[in-house]
Homo-oligomer: A and B are copies of this chain.
Amino acid sequence: MRDVAIIGVGHTKFGRADKSSLELFSEAALQAMDDAGITGKDIEGLFMGAALPGFEEAQVMPAAFAAAELNLGPIPATRYEGACASASVAIRDAAMWVASGELDMVLAGGVEKALSMGTAFATRTFAMSCHSPTEGPVGLTFPGVFAMAARRYAVEYGIPLDELREKMAYVSIKNHKHGALNPLAQFYKKMGALKVEDVLNARLVADPLTLLDCCPFSDGAAAIVLCAAEDARRYSDDPVYILGTGQASGSALSKMEDLTKPVSRIQSARTAFKHARLEPKDIDILEIHDCFTIAELIALECMGFFEWGEAANATAEGETDMGGKIPTNMSGGLIGKGHPIGATGASQVYWIIKQMRGEAAKGNQIDPVPEYGMTDTLGGDFGTLCHLILGRDRVRR
């Protein structure tokens, strides 16, 4: 198996887009190809994440038409659907096709028109990535799932709920702060200076989560170009290598032992670390699936960056902000940057790479530039988890 490099990246402005999903994806893809200094003729396969294009634009099978829109010729083009983890699953598969030697250069990424479809319809349709037979009839949507997770977290670790709410608020403050600095973020120049009380007093969505504990729906796309590591320097002065990947699946909530320790997230992260021959202490920067503030805390613990029950305190103490133990979501994360469902995993990879190139926005860029970074992407209520570990050096430590 060959090592795999990322040699080009592209990312649209997140927010409300007056473009179709094919246009949005093309914008990100063309940027990525320009960034790599290649043209469509060089691309041998397209790996595309999209969660609900049928509901958004009555467009099933978008990958084939994206390849056509980009004039890539009759190459294989596949759509991956793993709810919010769709793009990460697509990238993981793209990396495998390059690693195997079957394809030499491919395009991967994702797109969603989640804001344009309207928040109420988006909430209801995206809830279909819950376990429909048991969770549909009770009317469960994601804010409810993560409200339960927050309550369980409080009970599990003996933290009074009001105290936990304050600590979760620091996730929101940090991610909104960095989103406000990120020109491609949905909340660029907005909500950059929240206080704990602002989060606590925002409109209640699902007790104990307020609106500012939740990420928004967004329109957007992100894409990357992958090739064999041995060819990477022909195209890029600063290639980034995919050192490890992991993917795992969950079950219906009713079958989960503990909402605060989802097995799928633990297993997927472990697989990625094992594959990369790295440990949490080696990682310099994270992009984590903070669909809700509590989700970021659970992710940090499942991935092994903090002991069980300690991520809440650590976040309140700044350990996940710039200069802390493990800077997390310096792009703004889903909460500050936006969450175009099928694009989110590719956006996370984009921002890790921008950090590794020293190209993140002022106030978001960590110093020194990170050597190793990791993404965490969550589909549904822990149904699909995917982790990717990236490094500036293809040789593992």
Are A61 and B83 closer than 8 Å at their CB atoms? yes
Give the residue name and chain of the B residue nearest to A380 (CB).
B61
Q: Does A52 contact B (CB under 8 A)?
A: yes
- Of residues 214 through 271 on chain A, the ones whose CB sits less than 8 Å from some CB of chain B are 247-252, 255, 263-264, 267-268
Q: Which residues of B contact A383 (CB under 8 A)?
A: 61, 64-65
Q: Which residues of B contact A133 (CB under 8 A)?
A: 20, 22, 59
Q: A60-B52, A78-B82, A82-B78 are in contact. Are A65 and B128 (CB under 8 A)?
A: no
Q: A80-B78, A93-B78 are in contact. Are A55 and B58 (CB under 8 A)?
A: no
Are A60 and B83 closer than 8 Å at their CB atoms? yes
Task: Quote the shortest CB–CB distance from A142 to chain B (angstroms).
Answer: 12
Q: Looking at the complex, which one of B64, B68, B74, B80 makes contact with A379 (CB distance below 8 Å)?
A: B64
When chains A and B are docked, how far (Å) is the Cα of A251 from the Cα of B72? Answer: 10
Interface string of A35-62 (1 = CB under 8 A from B): 0000000000010000110110111110
- Of residues 49 through 98 on chain A, the ones whose CB sits less than 8 Å from some CB of chain B are 51-52, 54-55, 57-61, 63-65, 67-68, 72, 74-83, 89, 93, 96-97
Count the A residues whose beta carbon is within 8 Å of the partner chain — how many?
Answer: 60
Q: Which residues of B contact A380 (CB under 8 A)?
A: 60-61, 64
Are B75 and A248 closer than 8 Å at their CB atoms? yes
Are B64 and A82 closer than 8 Å at their CB atoms? yes
Q: Which residues of B contact A252 (CB under 8 A)?
A: 65, 68
When chains A and B are docked, how far (Å) is the Cα of A65 from the Cα of B383? Answer: 7
- Of residues 1 through 56 on chain A, the ones whose CB sits less than 8 Å from some CB of chain B are 1, 20, 22, 46, 51-52, 54-55
Q: Does A160 contact B (CB under 8 A)?
A: no
Q: Does A394 contact B (CB under 8 A)?
A: no
When chains A and B are docked, how far (Å) is the Cα of A83 from the Cα of B132? Answer: 21
Q: Which residues of B contact A76 (CB under 8 A)?
A: 247-249, 268
When chains A and B are docked, how far (Å) is the Cα of A63 from the Cα of B65? Answer: 24
Q: A102-B96, A247-B78, A249-B64 are in contact. Are A125 and B255 (CB under 8 A)?
A: no
Are A81 and B82 closer than 8 Å at their CB atoms? no
Q: Which residues of B contact A55 (CB under 8 A)?
A: 54
Q: Does A119 contact B (CB under 8 A)?
A: no
Q: Which residues of B contact A375 (CB under 8 A)?
A: none
Max chain B CB contacts within 10 Å: which of A61, A80, A96, A136? A61
Are A61 and B384 closer than 8 Å at their CB atoms? yes
When chains A and B are docked, how far (Å) is the Cα of A182 from the Cα of B93? Answer: 36
When chains A and B are docked, how far (Å) is the Cα of A76 from the Cα of B271? Answer: 10
Q: Does A131 contact B (CB under 8 A)?
A: yes
When chains A and B are docked, how far (Å) is the Cα of A304 from the Cα of B54? Answer: 34
Are B128 and A68 closer than 8 Å at their CB atoms? no
Q: What are 11 A-to-B residue pairs whose CB atoms are below 8 Å?
A: A1-B100, A1-B102, A60-B125, A61-B379, A63-B82, A64-B379, A68-B255, A74-B267, A75-B248, A77-B384, A96-B96
Top 10 A-B pairs, shortest CB-CB distance: A68-B251, A76-B247, A64-B383, A64-B249, A59-B132, A60-B129, A74-B248, A77-B249, A61-B129, A60-B128
